[in-house]
Structure 1
Amino acid sequence: MFEDGTRVMMADGRSKDISELRANDYLMAEDGAPVKVTGVIKDSQSTYEIVHKTKHRAFEGEAATNDPLRKIIYQRLSFNCTLTHDLVLRTPAKPMIENDFTKNIYRVRYRTLDKVNTDDGRIINIPKQHKKYFKMTPEGKTDAENFRDEMERQCGEFLNYNLQVRDLDLMMPLLRITTYLRFSPLTSGNGVLSQFLTGTKHLNTKAVLQMAWMLGLWIGDGTTNEPQITVDSFDTSLIDALNENSKPWGIYPTYKDEAFASRCKHVSLHYGQEAGENRVYRNLRKNNPFWNVVTSLKFKRDGDGGKQIPTFMWSEDEEVREAFMAGLIDADGYVCKWTEKTGNLKVSIQTIYPSIMNGIVHISRSLGITATVTTRSSKTITIRGRQVQCQFTFDCNMYGSERLQNILSYCHSGHKTRPVPSTISRDPVYFTFLDIKKGINDVYGLTLEEDKNVLLENKTVVTMCTSQCKNEHFKIKPSKYLQHCIACPHKGIKYFYKNWSGTAKLCGRCWQRYKFSGYRCLNCNFVPEAREVKIAKAKGEGVGLTPEGVPVKGYFCRRCNGILKYDGVRGPKRTKEETSRKAKVTSVGNIQ
């Protein structure tokens, strides 16, 4: 069951709050087919946030301290559900052979779905990791390879299964961090743009795609008062493409040279006869088909007149979405290869408008492209002797291979265009996640006519709970084996170790970090990474208070600004006192 406020994809491409759904509504299934809602269940339960595990760290450091807007991780994949909700998961299961030369054996690691009895009497399927040993001989190597191949045939490369949120703590930590949710691209669309331009849905002619490209170009570098786009006069291929794409609609771009030398040219999209002819009319806004699309389909907001990407574009026809994104990349995008080995691409688009940032992320995910958002604080810079105020900016980063390359094949800017890929896959995209407890909220469950996975507005693939979630809620009880790490929010059943005092527990990750660095926070018990210790040392020492109020000197914790204490006994390096003491003991032993 999902928390009130969760938005679900409808069969027609719109999204709706789950609390507004009724029987006989149609949702969009993972395969793009409609699935009918037959019933709605409401309850009040404890909810957990299932959220994308990200590597963004700006919200933890100085950037967020100086700019509160950077404390937010924008457009993070997430949804709130109950403890008894089934998650659609995948875990890698490819077996591997390891050489253990100390024991002269071959070790085959493999993973299977095993049946496990829970504390409350349920039998669930959960992934387990197993090991099998073979002697380090030619015959043993052959047996190990045969066993590996056999397990790969039986289990496949991945384990696909459903697991309730409350059962995540039963998983081994190594398997838990390599378990994925997924979001799925949209293979169908609503055809709104083609219907507006041609009167027929899904009639995506070349002219319709050219209009979509111009809309993306205007969203990136257009002015809101009139149909005018700023282009780089040195990019002749882009200017030629703008002339070519606008002609089918009777639009003729024109611009004048400024009084001072400038690469940026303001191109006006006039509607009417070409400039060189004895034209009867030539309008800029009146009867202009491009401007009619901008104003009628709400690419320009009614209130303040600002630019936005309307929500219907999030689920437009696939070709229209690709052409629109290509125009936006031609205007404001930066294209670079980020993995030379695999040929994957990275595209970054900067914008100051939250509505455009939301649209970029939603359209990217609807095309099966991973999208993340980072931020830049507002600042004042000097350009050619002039003080320029830069506003708070969103950096929308898209990562992909042939899917992103296919978008770039629609681009016309010389250094951004790419050839059309030979094959394009629309497989789901997988991501790791965290589960965070939220509190008691109103939740809703849906009964579907068919047992299918459906899509949320953010394209995450989920199951819809029936009365099972409501009935099982009363049987939930805390596990007597559940352990909590005092240094981080991690909880689980296994792989916990005693901390520095011996009275509490550290998870395996924090224990390894503490064993390596020896640093811990006296205030919040946080164990920093080696990278964070290095940053703390670069900032220098200071004076702080222990929880008992005793002044102490040391490096500052980046989480709570407490003091980091170094325990030389646990670290890889020993203190000078310990080193000198060992030297004295050694010298005395040699004398004796």
Structure 2
Amino acid sequence: MSEVNGHNFPSNVEWFAEGTKMILFNGETIKVEELIPGSQLLWADGSYRFIDDVFRANDNLYHLTQYTKHRAHKLDPSRPEPFGVFRMVCFERAVLSLQTGIHARVSYDKRRDVKLLRFSKLRDHLTDNGRVIKMLKWTEESFPVDTPNSVLVDLVKKFREATGKKFVEWECEIGDLKYLINDIRASTRLLLYPIPFEIPTLKPWLQRTFEREVSDRELEAMSWMLGFWIGDGCRAGALFALNMEDNDVNGMLEENAKIWGMSYEKRKYANSGLSAFAALHTPKADGKGRNWNVKNPFVAVLRGLKFYKNGLLNGPKNIPEFMRVDQLLVRKCFMAGLIDSDGYSSVADDFLSAKVSSVYPPIRDGILFICRSLGLNVSVSFCPAHRDEKRGINEADIWNFLITSGTNRGILLSILQRCSHGRKKDPPIFHYNKTPSNEADAYARRPKRYLNLSEPISNLENESISDKSMTGSTAVDDVSFSECENEFDSNTEIEQEQTVSETGFGCFDLAIDLEEIQLETDLTETDPDIVELDLGLDADISKTFDEPYFENDGDRDYASFNNSRQFFKTAPMNQKGTIYGIQLKERGILTESQIVYEPPYSVGDERVPYEQVCLSCSTKDETRWTTVPWQYNVKDRLCRSCYDSYVRTNTRCSNTACNKVYHLYQLGKKAMKGQPRLKINVENGSAKHRYLCNLCGSVTVTDGAPEDAKVRKEATVESCCVVCGPKSTGRWRKFPWDKDKMWCGACSQRFLRTRIICADTNCRKIPSPSEFAKMKSLPGKPETFNCLKCKQPVTRDLSKALFVPAKSEMRTETCISCGPIAAKRWCSLPWDKKSSKLICDNCKRHYNDHGHRCLNDSCNKIFSYVQLKKMEIKKRSKPDNSEESCYVCPHCGQDTEWRP
């Protein structure tokens, strides 16, 4: 075990939190802290690798849990935690492999009068500690408002064809998932490895034991019988419980027994309805009589490969761990036999599933890891032991497995194709969402939970409809919508920093089964400015399936695997823990949870908090940051004030150490208090470099024509206030008690401070706080008063708290000009925003009046116009040997910026 600093870790090290279980090449599991150099670990491709070294470090820990809808254990504390849900401890910098469905929608921007096509795409994101990572974020492209929605539909289709995928596959550290917005996070799923490789165990054991070659048909027969025995077999040996009328299953058992040289005998229990049993016999060596469990190949497999947990006859049933990685034929036939015995299958609106139950924990564990190894999704419900009073029997603990195909539909179909029971091999189909007779009924009766996108395009071309989501296409970072449609390449505007405040929506992916579609947030269907795009991607959901169902889709030998996808959630543990690094020559370790891990970006180094500052004025107190317009750097930001100034002036300092952004009034067009005008660049008077920076003296850069100085005022509107009558103001609000009427902002603010208004429509008096102090309440009614105007009783509304304007408090600081003083407002230095020193509000007001101060850094005195009359004037030399007059500071005797 090596313990070194982060910067000394080798690059080919994979990290795992303490307690993570790894799979050895022999199929056994071992905790990562128990590994030693030289151990053989199973690889994702089925091979093994030797461990070169094991390292140790510390990192913040997180809980990583599969997200399910199990609720029983939360309502009843005595119920155990759900089984089959992966729960593990990970560390903050563990990199997960994720898949996310792509959202796309069209909205109308009234301010810019354009249509916006919004879609999610991988983009650079700045973290709190200053790292630039790839994060799935919203991106917008604008189109002319008269663009038909049918054109946008074609555009999205072309984009989808250009990407060639159905999901965005990306990587993210666990600690960085907090930067995902809610609707994208809701459709993000964790990738799990299937186990498509094979490490044969059953077939080599049969060949060694019986000293002959074993065909695939014999292997299939033995695997099916093992699965059937796990479900309906007796621990006494080659004995099975049957139903007299299950001719398909009974015939399969008889056929498979004959393949292995065993005879099949079925007997009915006396007075037990359809219950029966069947035993498998082998002939004696002399040909006279037969054996039951003696020299029986089936019993030999049960004992030799530990399908008896202790390897002894009559022992508890068990599914050995080698079944996780055995041949695909063995795993499929085993699950088919188990479904034939204790399960069933169904199809509901193209939702394919199989259900199996078990009361034995070893069998429970085996079903789980076999299904997970085949890339299937498993959901387990638990029924605790209880007394069935109706039947008069005691029920044991039962685990019910719901097995769904997920991304590996062909695998589940191939398993069911190997079943013998007719209803399980070709189950009946239930249509819960019946197909409507016409298109109008189809839209009206569409299942809103699955967002059946069936509205005709003709209804969308002129006006937008409800707020729904369109998903199913994939975004690739180097492909844009503009590349798919050249008609609008000149009218593209991408929002660089997006904050989503609209109602979220989930992922709708037709490549997966409907059970995986989960909308984590509610859908709003009343916003007229957002339209859903109908791409016709949901045609397969509403179609009617006719019998037979599996002849076209089923394939007994299907062996194409995809990574399974699971919803998950993370939660910080608020503590640090030990993590272990495994050094190997290649990456691709397969853990017991089968989670796809990617190599971490860094381990061991400390990540200090990143402090965001404005590139221009160095302020840190800002809630709205924007990216720097003149450079494509994700890290640098401008505060809202500097960004607004740059948008109007397009002028900044060329010095990269300064980056000062100038206000419109500083460019010499119009003087303004507190904004000293810039000096003209005499040597180079071009339009791009016209001025000199007043902080560092460098030339400025003007990226465009500055706007004319305009005083931005709120537009005034003439209307009639329901309280104070006709008036002209820029602030109007809807009257809360009558939405068709308006009241002015002054009346609404006055009401918020007293919460009282006269109910008489001819009066509507709203007292001010000072007037309310004069009002007296009625006897016995502390919240009822007489109106000051009409003398009618009015009741005070205290359903909400009174609005109390915030008052500035006096605090004592050291002003750089006048020393320690108590003031209500303190400001940063106007001539040095990066300095931590302050000036009081009085000095700031004097400086805004004339913009001059003492040049002595130890004095920095700011003067008023009254002091100007008492100051002396002296002459001083300039760098060009000329002279100029300036006022002398009466405090220190040094020069000031103030010139006569």
When normalised by structure 1's length, the TM-score is 0.72
Identify the residue that residue 475 of structure 1 maps to in structure 2.
Answer: 607
Which moved further from structure 2: 205-214 or 280-289? 280-289
In 1, Cα distance between equivalents of 2:763 and 2:82: 64
Identify the residue that residue 322 of structure 1 maps to in structure 2.
Answer: 332
Identify the residue that residue 398 of structure 1 maps to in structure 2.
Answer: 403
Identify the residue that residue 269 of structure 1 maps to in structure 2.
Answer: 280
Amino acid at match of 1:296: G
Note if 1:298 corresponds to 2:306: yes
In 2, Cα distance between equivalents of 1:479 and 1:301: 60
Which moved further from structure 2: 234-243 or 118-127? 118-127
Identify the residue that residue 508 of structure 2 maps to in structure 1.
Answer: none
Match 1:463 to one of 598, 614, 628: 598
More strand by share: 1
Shift in Å at residue 107 of structure 1?
A: 2.6
Identify the residue that residue 9 of structure 1 maps to in structure 2.
Answer: 23
Shift in Å at residue 322 of structure 1?
A: 0.4
Match 1:284 to one of 292, 298, 307: 292
Secondary structure of 1:223's partner? coil
Alignment of 1:183-262 (within 5 A): 183-199=192-208, 205-262=216-273
Identify the residue that residue 573 of structure 1 maps to in structure 2.
Answer: none
Amino acid at match of 1:444: Y
Q: Structure 2 vs 1, CA of residues 164 and 16 (structure 1 numbering), >3 Å: closer, same or farther? A: same
In 2, Cα distance between equivalents of 1:591 and 1:233: 90
Note if 1:442 corresponds to 2:449: no
C-alpha offsets along residues 134-173 of structure 1, whole Å, 9 cap, x if unaligned? Answer: 2331478647854774587369543322221121112222
In 2, Cα distance between equivalents of 1:326 and 1:219: 11
Identify the residue that residue 191 of structure 2 maps to in structure 1.
Answer: 182
In 2, Cα distance between equivalents of 1:463 and 1:130: 26
Contact 1:89 1:179 in 2 (8 A): yes
Amino acid at match of 1:224: R
In 1, Cα distance between equivalents of 2:213 and 2:154: 52
Q: Structure 2 vs 1, CA of residues 478 and 76 (structure 1 numbering), >3 Å: closer, same or farther? A: farther
Match 1:430 to one of 560, 565, 571: 565
Contact 1:456 1:462 in 2 (8 A): no
Identify the residue that residue 53 of structure 1 maps to in structure 2.
Answer: 67
Which moved further from structure 2: 5-14 or 454-463? 5-14
In 1, Cα distance between equivalents of 2:212 and 2:610: 53
Match 2:424 to one of 416, 419, 428: 416
More helix by share: 1
Shift in Å at residue 204 of structure 1?
A: 5.7
Contact 1:191 1:201 in 2 (8 A): no
Shift in Å at residue 86 of structure 1?
A: 1.3
Contact 1:446 1:464 in 2 (8 A): no
Contact 2:268 2:275 in 1 (8 A): no
Identify the residue that residue 519 of structure 1 maps to in structure 2.
Answer: none
Match 1:106 to one of 115, 121, 140: 115
Contact 2:379 2:401 in 1 (8 A): yes
Amino acid at match of 1:47: L
Greater RCO between the two (CA within 8 Å, min separation 6)?
1
Q: Structure 2 vs 1, CA of residues 14 and 459 (structure 1 numbering), >3 Å: closer, same or farther? A: same
Q: Structure 2 vs 1, CA of residues 246 and 73 (structure 1 numbering), >3 Å: closer, same or farther? A: same
C-alpha offsets along residues 470-493 of structure 1, whole Å, 9 cap, x if unaligned? Answer: x13x3366999xxxxxxxxxxxx9
Contact 1:294 1:300 in 2 (8 A): yes
Identify the residue that residue 627 of structure 2 maps to in structure 1.
Answer: none
In 1, Cα distance between equivalents of 2:274 and 2:248: 14
Secondary structure of 1:454's partner? coil
Identify the residue that residue 90 of structure 2 maps to in structure 1.
Answer: 81
Identify the residue that residue 171 of structure 1 maps to in structure 2.
Answer: 180
Contact 1:6 1:80 in 2 (8 A): yes
Match 2:369 to one of 343, 362, 365: 362
Q: Structure 2 vs 1, CA of residues 139 and 214 (structure 1 numbering), >3 Å: closer, same or farther? A: closer
In 2, Cα distance between equivalents of 1:319 and 1:479: 58
Q: Structure 2 vs 1, CA of residues 146 and 235 (structure 1 numbering), >3 Å: closer, same or farther? A: closer
In 1, Cα distance between equivalents of 2:759 and 2:283: 98
Amino acid at match of 2:395: C
Note if 1:40 corresponds to 2:54: yes
Shift in Å at residue 337 of structure 1?
A: 1.3
In 1, Cα distance between equivalents of 2:261 and 2:367: 29
Shift in Å at residue 425 of structure 1?
A: 3.3
Q: Which structure 1 residue ranges, 5 or more long, are not aligned? A: 481-492, 495-568, 570-584
Q: Structure 2 vs 1, CA of residues 123 and 378 (structure 1 numbering), >3 Å: closer, same or farther? A: same
Which moved further from structure 2: 348-357 or 141-150? 141-150
C-alpha offsets along residues 323-370 of structure 1, whole Å, 9 cap, x if unaligned? Answer: 0011111110021113x1xx3311111111111111111101111111
Shift in Å at residue 181 of structure 1?
A: 1.1
Q: Structure 2 vs 1, CA of residues 183 and 309 (structure 1 numbering), >3 Å: closer, same or farther? A: same
Secondary structure of 1:406's partner? helix
Contact 2:130 2:609 in 1 (8 A): no
C-alpha offsets along residues 503-537 of structure 1, whole Å, 9 cap, x if unaligned? Answer: xxxxxxxxxxxxxxxxxxxxxxxxxxxxxxxxxxx
In 1, Cα distance between equivalents of 2:287 and 2:589: 55
Q: Structure 2 vs 1, CA of residues 241 and 144 (structure 1 numbering), >3 Å: closer, same or farther? A: closer
Which moved further from structure 2: 115-124 or 135-144? 135-144
**Aligned pairs, how many?**
475
Q: Which structure 2 residue ranges, 5 or more long, are not aligned? A: 1-14, 427-549, 613-622, 625-735, 737-756, 765-900
Secondary structure of 1:127's partner? strand
Contact 2:262 2:282 in 1 (8 A): yes
Secondary structure of 1:415's partner? helix
Amino acid at match of 1:447: Q
Q: Structure 2 vs 1, CA of residues 26 and 90 (structure 1 numbering), >3 Å: closer, same or farther? A: farther
Percent identical pairs in the alignment equals 25
Contact 2:356 2:401 in 1 (8 A): yes
Contact 1:216 1:327 in 2 (8 A): yes
In 2, Cα distance between equivalents of 1:479 and 1:173: 25
In 2, Cα distance between equivalents of 1:136 and 1:100: 8
Contact 2:104 2:120 in 1 (8 A): no
Contact 1:232 1:265 in 2 (8 A): yes
Shift in Å at residue 424 of structure 1?
A: 5.4
Contact 1:47 1:441 in 2 (8 A): yes
Query: What is the root-mean-square deviation in Å for CA atoms of aligned residues?
Result: 3.5
Amino acid at match of 2:400: D
Note if 1:335 corresponds to 2:345: yes
Contact 2:306 2:320 in 1 (8 A): yes
